[in-house]
Structure 1
């Protein structure tokens, strides 16, 4: 039986290969409506700090820069070196993007202090098309919330297909994740001002947003 590390190693090899055609198979146009809403919900402003995990090939960067205009800091994290190599090409035109190869399940305050900036907290975090594939996804959500500033926003864009169907099978085959995880349902109990829009792709894709709540703030004091 494969361990989590075995599965992750296999996923890295897969996405390193997939990166060569990712922007074609998983095109920006296919996700445009959901991604537009997700970035709108981040409520971006100049000089903010944001985290994009997984950042993939950097498809979000130009959208972020529409609001940040090369100010603040964008931290992009992905486990696949192949995906990051594509993201680095896109990021060359700006100076405010830091790309890091890392495991999402290890990203917490201590990790940020060591690998990014001591004491850094984020104005907003976008986790798009990642939580359906991450192991220990509940813990990832908890950690991401705790990386936010007071009132900072976590935005999740992902799939939720409760009953098996052809689209779900295809996404699972291409993305190597699970499409029936109750991601936004779990998130709802962890944040303030929760909203979800699951009107995309015939109700099978959602965008959820919430802000860091008082309970998570007090737990860090």
Structure 2
């Protein structure tokens, strides 16, 4: 049984300081365009309140803020100090973005106040037990008709992917990602309180943005 020690979800040191640049270099400049494409499909409304779990450098929050007016707001949640410093550097110019520094596994000091809870390539890096804690957190902080939006890996059969993809995935990703891609997330999230799924896919359908509505 996998435990949280095999995760690569928390980024530290020089990698944290240059995280966005590393991803952009590694993707030959495609990472930034991909994020913009995904966020454009979130259907952000000008007055939305958005909680970004595992917000990292805040790059996504800066992109989401472009869709908001001054009544909309974003709260990023992350535990890493290096990431917090990058977040403040990137998002400090936005008056409607702020950072709340804590673990996303711990109960959050919010309840029924967000229109959207967003996660970007964070969810796969947790054990299933901890994923349930994160979803419980998201459910509690969302408004009655709020949406959970997850940008992460889609379910796919690893063995059927091209050799170059399999080598890259095994090199970069932690064992928890291999577990994650085997789970039927629609069925799992239905059991955890969400419905009405919408999906968008990229990169041979290995990456997915899915939206799910909270039901009570």
Could you state the TM-score of these two structures normalised by the residue count of structure 1? 0.76
Distance in 1 (alpha carbons) for counterparts of 2:56 and 2:146: 23
Assess if the C-alpha contact under 8 Å between 2:61 and 2:76 holds in 1: no
Q: 1:36: which partner in 2?
A: 37
Contact 2:70/2:96 (<8 A) preserved: yes
Mapped contact 2:124–2:177 kept (Cα < 8 A)? yes
Q: Tell me the C-alpha RMSD between the 2 structures.
A: 2.8
* 1:156 and 2:150 correspond: yes
| Gap change, CA 1:70 and 1:7, over 3 Å in 2 | farther
List aligned pairs for 1:1-221, cutoff 5 A.
4=4, 12=10, 14-27=11-24, 29-30=30-31, 32-33=33-34, 35-41=36-42, 43-106=43-106, 108=107, 111-113=108-110, 119=111, 121-135=113-127, 136-160=130-154, 161-163=156-158, 165-172=166-173, 178-181=177-180, 182=183, 184-185=185-186, 186-189=188-191, 190-197=193-200, 199-214=201-216
In the comparison of the two structures, how many residue pairs are matched?
198
CA-to-aligned-CA distance 1:92-138 (integer Å, 9 cap, x gap): 111111202211111x3xx324xxxxx45101111111001134112
Residue 39 of structure 1: CA displacement? 4.6
SS at match of 2:177: coil
Deviation, 1:69, is: 3.3
Q: Secondary structure at the match of 2:172?
A: helix
Per the alignment, residue 217 of structure 1 pairs with none
**What is the alpha-carbon distance in structure 1 between the residues aligned to residue 197 and residue 35 of structure 2?**
17
Q: Is the 8 A contact 2:189 2:195 kept in 1?
A: no
**CA apart distance, 1:60:** 1.1
Contact 2:48 2:68 in 1 (8 A): yes
SS at match of 2:65: helix
